[in-house]
Amino acid sequence: MRAPAGVPVVMTADRTLMADHRTIFGGMVAASQTTTVPRLLMDHLLAPRSALAVAPLGLRRIEAALIGDGFASDEVAVVASERLPEVIGPETRVIAVSAGEACGLGMNSTTMTAISGGEIYPRHLVRDLMRRIAGLRERAPHAKVILGGPGAWQLLADDSLRVELGVDHVVSGQAEGNAPEVFHAAVDGDALPTLIAGEPVAVSAIPAIRGASAMGVVELSRGCGLGCHYCVMGREPMAHLTEETVLADVRTNVAAGLRSIGAISEDLLRYGADGMRPRPERLLALLRRMREIDGVGLIQTDHANIISVAGWPDEQLRELRALMVGESGARFPWMNLGVESASGELLARSGSAKLGGVDPADWGEFAAEQLRRLIRVGFMPMASLMLRLPGETEAHVQRTLDWVEGLADEPLTIFPMLYAPIDGSPVPTRADLTSMHWRLIKRCYDVNFREVPRMFFDGQTAAGVPLARRLALQALGFGQIALWSALFAWRGWRAEA
């Protein structure tokens, strides 16, 4: 590092993206908190500083692209926000920020603030980070602030927000293809447009990461291609990274001290597929090779699709679970599946191909059966629902509530989310939730209050989180359960009054 002269390219992100999250679900829990939770608990329990030099996977990809295109390794610094004073100086020309929730417009953020109030912490911490950067810019008078990452889309529709945050340029989308050109231009002082569309590269050309990724995540696939109007990835066709790139990223994380690996995809079960049809043998072969890497512990995932579960025989789902759990001892590996609504007719209106040829009238029953299949082979499914989809009626909400009632005794979790438009149209708020919505939300959380604590504790145990921290997180979780239960009771009383 060149401090105090400064490093030419400095890359960072807010604390929720660079904290010591040993599990993907732990990161999700931290990113779901609002400022109703004391900052002290965020900084020291939910999102504590990492002793390892971790960064969001997207930043690691851009770092690798820059170094592969002429930047020297000591000309690029990827650091947590508290280390910015060490690397920003007169020679700094680019301060690149990755943001997941620059403005708090995402589905999870709008849902959590609607239920519990306050400001979502990822947005709050992005603003803290940008204030810190603003205070350091006098050291680097020629530096440009470039913001990208999964939340960059939130700055595209309202330029005043960009100005308020002190961002000079916004890069949207995957950008390994043109990030080197953009950063070289910024370093050279060349003019750049305010809004820059990222250019992806072919999956065969995606550079392997050079440093540890937060939560040990490695990319298996990009895009989704199901066409859902409410999802940015729905427009992007799914493409699969090569096994060698995935394995190289796993080795980099393990070498840095991260034993738990996150296998990330918009649909894990479609890795290696041709179009919509899963090819289970491709994913299983990749996971077997991952298991051969010394030091790999728990393998986690995030998303899969209901229709893809249907394309996997039970025997291969059991093998999938065994390969993911390994010798970690995890009892409740989870997988997030977007059911969205028990009404297939409503879901079909969103432009989604999630139904995969299933008769819309049969969607609710079909989805429930696939969740039960995952339970039978040893997974704990995490179903997500979407409230206030365009065209939603009270009958649709009632149908979904009945669907939840039919699954309420199963070992699974169900998370309702508020629809968040990505076209700049108004975001639904708490005022848009009817008494029927609140009944549905409460019933989902009745299930979650029972199942989430053991799923969370189990995953953290398997990932090696120290016992003291696990117990403290459990205590905090039960405290939040009590508060939310009181909130739901109050909502019910208000509805009856």
CATH of residue 95: 3.40.50.280
For residue 468, being part of any structural domain is answered with no
Q: Are residues 188 and 249 in the same domain?
A: no
Predicted pLDDT of residue 379:
98
Cβ neighbours of 426 (radius 10 Å): 7
Predicted pLDDT of residue 2:
47
Angle at 369 between CA 363 and CA 370, to 5 degrees: 90
Phi then psi for residue 209, to 5 deg, are -70, 155
Does residue 416 contact residue 444 with C-beta atoms inside 8 Å? yes
Classify residue 141 as exposed, middle or buried by CB count within 10 Å of its CB (0-12, 13-18, 19+).
exposed
Domain count within the chain: 3
pTM value is: 0.93
Please state, in angstroms and rounded to a whole number, the distance separating the CA atoms of residues 269 and 337: 11
Predicted pLDDT of residue 1:
45
Please state, in angstroms and rounded to a whole number, the distance separating the CA atoms of residues 33 and 419: 18
Predicted pLDDT of residue 424:
67
Predicted pLDDT of residue 497:
43
Does residue 303 contact residue 338 with C-beta atoms inside 8 Å? yes
Does residue 46 contact residue 78 with C-beta atoms inside 8 Å? no
What mean pLDDT is reported for the chain?
93
- Tell me the CATH number at 388: 3.30.750.200
- Tell me the CATH number at 315: 3.30.750.210
Q: Are residues 272 and 357 in the same domain?
A: no
Q: Residue 428: which residues within 8 A CB-CB, separation 6 or more?
A: 110, 114, 387, 388, 418, 419, 420
pLDDT < 50: residue spans in the chain: 1-3, 497
Q: Are residues 220 and 279 in the same domain?
A: yes
Q: Are residues 261 and 376 in the same domain?
A: no
Count H helices and E strands in the chain, helices first: 18, 15
Cβ neighbours of 469 (radius 10 Å): 16
Reduce the DSSP state of residue 179 to 3 states and report it: helix
Q: Are residues 58 and 163 in the same domain?
A: yes
Please state, in angstroms and rounded to a whole number, the distance separating the CA atoms of residues 275 and 383: 23
Asked which of 197, 226, 241 is the last residue of a domain, the reply is 197
Asked which of 197, 232, 256 is the last residue of a domain, the reply is 197
**What are 349's two structure tokens?**
């209106």
Classify residue 40 as exposed, middle or buried by CB count within 10 Å of its CB (0-12, 13-18, 19+).
exposed
pLDDT tens-digit readout, 49-69: 999 999 999 999 999 999 999
Please state, in angstroms and rounded to a whole number, the distance separating the CA atoms of residues 362 and 383: 17
Task: State the residue range of the domain holding 219.
Answer: 212-328
For residue 2, being part of any structural domain is answered with no
Asked which of 134, 165, 197 is the last residue of a domain, the reply is 197
Alpha helices (runs of H) in 189-293, residue ranges in sequence order: 243-255, 280-291
